[in-house]
Amino acid sequence: MSGMAGKVVLVTGGARGQGAEEVRRLAARGAHAIVGDLRAEEAAALAGSVPGPGTAAAITLDVAAEDSWRQAAGEIQARFGRLDGLVNNAGVAAPGTVSGTSYETWRDVMRVNLDGVFLGLKHCCPLIADSGGGAVVNIGSGVALVGYHTAAYAASKWGVRSLTHSAALEFAHRGVRVNAVHPGLVETPMTASDTARFDAMVQATPWGRAADAGEIAEVVLFLLSDAAGFVTGADIPVDGGFASGGLAKRIAESTGVLPTPPA
């Protein structure tokens, strides 16, 4: 993938899961990945184990706290002298409906999923612009492309879509591209442990399976790279067709229009 070598990229929530996969692949492409996470020991362990030819470093970052963002931006400027990319990956899930979600849970989700993205854009886009331009990738969700029952989580990810477009418009003249990736079902130990929900989501996915973290990470890296130099303000589903017609697929199968997948 062109144009990743030497780039300095911050990945929030980078110590585990999807974020860690992005960190590993950035380093493998020759980038300098910064693991931003509250789990300082895990972030440091990951940073010390990534493959070359790039490198990784760890910083402590609470995405829901503006002072933490100010400190992180200052530390990045002092240590690296520049920032070329940001992946707003940190997020939390909450399964509750409107009736079943407490206000405390609502605020907790919004602080991380929406405030965290806002603060990342606010404090990192100017730094990226001053470094000569670059790219931001916000991690949304397939539930931000359809109606969904998880009130707080879905609302937070719809908000990420709007912030993506606002920032893309604001920073285009300064050479900062801002896009959103919206993953569908991703196979992890956590998602696979809820067998009933996992199977239902697979059935609603036209491609007929879950993604693995690497498939999401490759799209993120493309959007960070020079190869995506004319892509900004875009919502990119990486969901096996879920947002394009997961419900329609199930209706078509139940009425015989489409064949039912084998068990």
> Does residue 260 sit within a domain?
no
Q: Residue 62 falls within a domain, yes or no?
A: yes
The pTM is what?
0.91
Q: 160-207: per-residue pLDDT in tens?
A: 999 999 999 999 999 999 999 999 999 876 677 778 888 888 888 888
CATH number of the structural domain spanning residue 87: 3.40.50.720
Residue 192 counted as domain residue: no
Q: Where are the alpha helices (DSSP H) in the chain?
A: 17-28, 40-47, 66-80, 103-110, 116-130, 151-171, 189-193, 195-203, 213-224, 242-254
Active site residue 153: yes
Give the number of C-alpha atoms closer than 13 A to the C-alpha of residue 137, restricted to the C-beta side: 29
- Choosing from 69, 106, 118, 153, the catalytic residue is 153
137 and 179 in contact (C-beta within 8 Å)?
yes
Long-range contacts of the stretch 92-100 (C-beta < 8 A, 24+):
93/150, 93/153, 94/150, 94/152, 94/153, 95/150, 95/153, 96/150, 96/151, 96/152, 97/149, 97/150, 97/151, 98/151
Q: Residue 81: inside a domain, yes or no? A: yes
Tell whether 34 is covered by a domain.
yes
129 occurs within a structural domain: yes
Q: Is residue 97 part of a domain?
A: yes
Q: Is residue 124 part of a domain?
A: yes
Number of domains in the chain: 1
pLDDT band at 252 (very low <50, low <70, confident <90, very high): low
Domain of 140 in residue numbering reads as 8-185+208-241
